[in-house]
Structure formats: structure tokens, C-alpha cells
Amino acid sequence: MNASAEAIAAKPSTVTADKLGQDQSTATTVGEITSANPRMRCREVNVWYDDNHAIKDVSLDIGQNEVISMIGPSGCGKSTFLRCLNRMNDTISTARVEGSIQLDDQEIQDKSIDVVPLRARVGMVFQKPNPFPKSIYENIAYGPRIHGLTNSRAELDELVETSLQRAGLWKEVKDRLDASGTSLSGGQQQRLCIARTLSVSPEVILMDEPCSALDPIATAIIEELIDELRAQYTIAIVTHSMQQAARVSQRTAYFHLGDLVEVGTTDDIFNQPQHKLTEDYITGRFG
């Protein structure tokens, strides 16, 4: 490919904007949307709910072994974008998603993709812990059984144990695996849900405000866990807490009214944002 063809093929990924400039359009993302080692690659993603254009031309890579936070005012499209990454918007009848979303080199928007294995590869943890009304053991064993991941009860027992260990819950529940998942505390339930996600060997984990229903101690435990999980998984987390974004993520993406306004290293976004909207948000001027 010659240089000009290359320039056309490569969508501009870096745009600098003058923070003091008067006319900062939100149409183009400021900062580096690409990742050196991308796991997921979103290009020109648009989402509508009926005629409400909730995500506008968003392009973003999510890199291997990184935690990326999605921040921005309520209603800016963080959850909508996160749900694009494992086709969860399919479950909303009014939602329409366009654009390219690749997991490794596979286009997950293809109609031929089976969303059940996709959602095992790209798992999701929700704001409100949602354990099944079943035992702790069954909460974890359910997914591996459905996906046929184990061949014997002993293998399943081992997978339940390792999943609970990875989620930092094993010691607290090993003597009461038959108790109901809903009998655990909120923070324990959220770790149970993380263990459930881990049990089906995900590659990417999506977390939508996973700590918003938790107290500071449970939050600290989950944040520590996220940091440990990064070694093995790719994690995208939506959070309203800028302190949390700063603590757990290496990259941060700032959304505003459906636009991805700016993306960069978490350090840069919080210490030297390029876009006025990002600066206004992180300095608490709105949102």
C-alpha cells in the first residue's frame, strides 16, 4: 500500500484540539482511539432507540490486558455502548446498532453470530448484583454446564472452586456452597456474579457501574480484584466515580450526548484533558 492509500485506509485516530479554541466540535474524537494490542475494535458505531440517536459514530479499540473506563454524564450512552460489545442491545426491541464491532478479527455484528457463546467470551457484570435464586454452587456451575465445559462432577467442582477463588470469594463461601446466592451480602453477591462470569472463560469482561450499590469496603475489594483480573482479561468498566476510574483503569473514554469526545491514558484525561467538555466534566463543572 502506498502512503496515500494507507492514509485513506487508516481512519484518523489522533486529533488534537485547542482547549482554548471557540469551536470544538464533538464530531471527532480527540485522542488515540487505537490500541497497540487491540482485543476489540469498534468503528463508526451508531445506536438508535427508535429515533433517539444514542451513540454517534463511535470508534474505539479496547486493548488486551487493559482496563478502560467509560465516563460521562448520565444519559450520554455509556451503558448503550458497553452493551454493543456483547450484543446485549439485541434484547431491547427498539434498539438498532450499526457499524463494525470486531472481537479479534470476528465481526460480532454479523447475523450469523450465535450470541450465547459470544456473551460467554464477552461477559457482563451489572450495576445491581443479580445472582440466580439458586445455591452459590449452582450460580457458578450453571454456565459451564450449559456450555459443556466440563466432563465430570469433579471437573465441575474444580471449576466452581477456581472461579470463586479468582473472584476472591472462595474463603468466605467454601463451607456454605449450598446456601442461596441471594443470602450473601451485596459485595459478596457482586463477587459471585464476577465468579459466574469468569466460570465460562471470558476474554473480555464488561462492567456497568459494578460498585454503585456497594459500600466503600466492598468497593475496594472489587477494585483490587479488577486490577488482578487485568493480567488475564480485558476489562471495560462504566463508572460515575472519577476516583474509581483513576484507581482502576489505564485508559479512559469520555462520552457526551452519544459522542465519544475524548479518549486517552487515564493520567492524561484527568490531568491534562484536551477537550473543553472533558475538562468541564472532570473538574465538576457539570455532570
Ligand X SMILES: Nc1ncnc2c1ncn2[C@@H]1O[C@H](COP(=O)(O)OP(=O)(O)OP(=O)(O)O)[C@@H](O)[C@H]1O
Q: Tell me which residues touch Mg ion (CB under 5 A).
A: 79
**Of residues 215, 266, 256, 211, the one with CA closest to residue 238:** 211
Give the neighbor-by-neighbor strand order of the sheet with 106-107.
52-63, 38-49, 95-103, 106-107
Of 24, 46, 49, 246, the one binding ligand X by CB under 6 A = 49
Question: C-beta of 18: minimal distance to ligand X in Å?
Answer: 27
Residues sharing a CB contact under 8 Å with residue 3, sequence separation 6 or more, in sequence order: none
Q: Which is nearer to ligand X, 160 or 238 (CB)?
A: 238
Residues sharing a CB contact under 8 Å with residue 88, sequence separation 6 or more, in sequence order: 82, 119, 124
Told to check if 106 binds ligand X by CB under 6 A, we report no
From the list ligand X, Mg ion, none, partner contacted by residue 77 (C-beta under 5 to 8 A by kind): ligand X
Question: C-beta of 117: minimal distance to Mg ion in Å?
Answer: 25
Question: C-beta of 71: minimal distance to ligand X in Å?
Answer: 9
Report the sign of the C-alpha dihedral through residues 112, 201, 264, 214, in that order: positive
The SS3 assignment for 203 reads: coil
Q: Which is nearer to Mg ion, 79 or 199 (CB)?
A: 79
Question: C-beta of 93: minimal distance to Mg ion in Å?
Answer: 19
Location of C-alpha cell 450469523: 112
Indicate the residue type of 149.
L
Told to check if 207 binds ligand X by CB under 6 A, we report no
Q: By CB under 6 A, what part of segment 212-241 binds ligand X? A: none
Q: Which is nearer to ligand X, 47 or 200 (CB)?
A: 47
Q: Which is nearer to ligand X, 31 or 77 (CB)?
A: 77
Q: What is the largest CA-CA distance in the chain?
A: 65
CA separation, residue 246 to residues 29, 87, 251 (Å):
20, 28, 9
Question: C-beta of 90: minimal distance to ligand X in Å?
Answer: 12
Rounded to 5 degrees, what are φ and ψ at 201? 50, 60
Rounded to 5 degrees, what are φ and ψ at 268? -65, -45
From the list Mg ion, ligand X, none, partner contacted by residue 75 (C-beta under 5 to 8 A by kind): ligand X
Q: Which is nearer to ligand X, 125 or 200 (CB)?
A: 125
Told to check if 74 binds ligand X by CB under 6 A, we report yes
Only segment of 75-83, 109-117, 173-181, 214-222 that touches ligand X (CB under 6 A): 75-83
As given in the structure block, the three cell numbers for residue 200 are 465460562
Of 39, 78, 191, 275, the one binding ligand X by CB under 6 A = 78
Told to check if 30 binds ligand X by CB under 6 A, we report no
Tell me, what DSSP letter sits at residue 145? H
Told to check if 25 binds ligand X by CB under 6 A, we report no
Distance from C-alpha of 70 to C-alpha of 49, rounded to nearest angstrom: 20
From the list Mg ion, ligand X, none, partner contacted by residue 92 (C-beta under 5 to 8 A by kind): ligand X
**Of residues 11, 30, 15, 18, the one with CA closest to residue 261:** 30
Q: Which is nearer to ligand X, 10 or 92 (CB)?
A: 92
Binding site for ligand X (CB under 6 A): 49, 52, 54, 72, 74-80, 92, 94
